[in-house]
Structure 1
Amino acid sequence: MYGFHAVSTRLKMAPQTLLEVLFDPARRDARMRSFLAKVEEAGRPMVECDDARLSKLSGGPRHQGVVARVAPLPARHSLDEIMEEVESAKLDAPLVLALDGVTDPHNLGACLRVADGAGAQAVVAPVDHAAGINATVAKVASGAAESVPYLMVTNLARSLNELKERGIRIIGTSDDAEQTLYDIDLSGPVALVLGAEGPGMRPVTRKACDELVRIPMAGAVESLNVSVAAAVCLYEARRQRLAKLPD
């Protein structure tokens, strides 16, 4: 794991999983000093390390002078457990992001970051043909890989049907849908389903959707990057929910 956001979030949420924090002693700015003070306060081991080794460990130069060796987080809750917690809390209607066939770790990291910002309670993806959490995902997610449950399920269509049984509408996105994102009510319990760029959702996933919507495109391009599309969809849901709050 590398970068200030990713390592700081892990330090805040699960400090015991930080096995070793490697840092560049040549970087002495206020941000680094503040970060190291928090690591020291948490009692985690710190090791000075030159830039070349940090780059090798992180797979590139974008480590910001910070790399951490980490233990795996405890296993994520099941989707059922998460939905039960959401329903019992009665703070907000369930909002789930489902990703079908998103294999690029940069896209996954950006989707997790958007999901966290928009208040989604979980991101769901199939075990096969989907990116898992790795150092690149954690870096791009800027801490959201730690705060938003990412659940990889054996059968995505079956999981969507289980959400239906809980009264959650399954809204898929497709370029050929008749209605647009802005034509439907997203203020209630909703799972938004996005497919990979190019092929989109698989037919079995599309069949599991209650409705299909498209994002209206006014320019020359035909579609958006999946993480941008996720942002548009999730924040439209958030906008509608905020609009229904009492003054």
Structure 2
Amino acid sequence: MEDIIFGFYPIIELLKNNPKSFKKIYILDNKQSNNKLKEIFINIKKYSIPYYKTTRQWLNKKSKNNVHQGILGIIFLKKSKYHKNDIIKIIKKFKNPFILILDRITDPHNLGACIRTAVAAKVNIIILPKHHSSKLNSTVKKVSCGTSEILPIIFVNSLVQIIHLLKNNNITIIGADNKSKNIIYNNRIYFPICIIMGSENKGIRPIIKHNCDILLNIPLFNGINSLNVSVATGIFLFEIIRQNSF
């Protein structure tokens, strides 16, 4: 099976992190050379990746009229090498595990942005429900700029079961909830931690909230009731990093 990835930054990042995933690369004929394109050609030559010149019409059709910037890669689509049974094995590799659970993130743009933010924040593993969650499609890969290949991303049948598993391994479960009276900046948060983020409209499910150790919110002003989930995820993750860096 195969999938596509398009745009300069996603392709460059994937070339850096997993060049063997490329089957071939297509480049717009007469595409004006720039530093990004030169970098891509260096990696194409280095890893002997087949490449072809093509038309804008072909790229538009293949990318379903997304912004491809004149470049598109065909990549091998592999099944995840991780399973729910690997979760504890993975977190035990780290002194202070940092885990992100994303509940009901169905928009691939939001999922891709959350993944990129998680990688930037040095999250060790992302866990998602198999149902009511976007899959790791080409849009997710593009928005995440290829970072979806960097850290373990595991889909599970039951988040509640995983939460209990994490609790049994002394990991604090923190849920994001805009109705909570506990403000994230007023609470001292120590590793090991699992942050749970929900969709912008619905938040995390009630059964998930019930199983959290604490629910925290981000104070908002001027009548704004919620933030985009990727923005909220960034605030939570980097506030935790700030607290644990001093």
Instruction: Spell out the pairing of 1:64-143 with structure 2 (5 A cutoff).
Output: 64-73=69-78, 75-79=80-84, 81-90=86-95, 93-143=96-146
Per-residue displacement from partner, 1:89-140 (whole Å, max 9, x unpaired)? 43xx111111111100000010001001111111111000100111111111
* Distance in 2 (alpha carbons) for counterparts of 1:30 and 1:102: 35
Residue 169 of structure 1 pairs with residue 172 of structure 2: yes
Counterpart of 1:148 (choices 151, 156, 160) is: 151
Q: Which has the higher helix share?
A: 1
Per-residue displacement from partner, 1:133-191 (whole Å, max 9, x unpaired)? 11111111112111122211111111111111111111001122121111222231111
Which stretch of structure 1 is more off in the superposition, 11-20 or 203-212?
11-20
* Distance in 2 (alpha carbons) for counterparts of 1:62 and 1:126: 29
Report if aligned partners of 1:119, 1:238 keep a CA contact under 8 Å in 2: no
Which stretch of structure 1 is more off in the superposition, 199-208 or 100-109?
199-208
SS of the aligned residue for 1:191 comes to strand
Deviation at 1:36?
A: 1.4
SS of the aligned residue for 1:133 comes to coil
* Distance in 2 (alpha carbons) for counterparts of 1:209 and 1:61: 39
* Distance in 1 (alpha carbons) for counterparts of 2:111 and 2:187: 26
* Distance in 2 (alpha carbons) for counterparts of 1:212 and 1:30: 46
Instruction: Spell out the pairing of 1:1-247 with structure 2 (5 A cutoff).
Output: 1-27=5-31, 28-73=33-78, 75-79=80-84, 81-90=86-95, 93-243=96-246
Report if aligned partners of 1:3, 1:64 keep a CA contact under 8 Å in 2: yes
User: What letter corresponds to residue 192 of structure 1 in structure 2?
Assistant: I
User: What letter corresponds to residue 105 of structure 1 in structure 2?
Assistant: P
Report if aligned partners of 1:122, 1:149 keep a CA contact under 8 Å in 2: yes
Per the normalisation by structure 1, the TM-score is 0.91
SS of the aligned residue for 1:88 comes to coil
Report if aligned partners of 1:82, 1:121 keep a CA contact under 8 Å in 2: no
User: What letter corresponds to residue 17 of structure 2 in structure 1?
Assistant: M
Report if aligned partners of 2:100, 2:196 keep a CA contact under 8 Å in 1: yes
SS of the aligned residue for 1:23 comes to strand
SS of the aligned residue for 1:242 comes to coil
Deviation at 1:79?
A: 5.0
Deviation at 1:61?
A: 4.3
SS of the aligned residue for 1:98 comes to strand
* Distance in 2 (alpha carbons) for counterparts of 1:63 and 1:131: 21
* Distance in 2 (alpha carbons) for counterparts of 1:5 and 1:65: 12
SS of the aligned residue for 1:76 comes to coil
Per the normalisation by structure 2, the TM-score is 0.92
* Distance in 2 (alpha carbons) for counterparts of 1:157 and 1:86: 18
Deviation at 1:65?
A: 1.5
**What value does the CA root-mean-square deviation take over the aligned residues?**
1.6
Gaps of 5+ in 2: none
* Distance in 2 (alpha carbons) for counterparts of 1:167 and 1:219: 38
Report if aligned partners of 1:100, 1:194 keep a CA contact under 8 Å in 2: yes
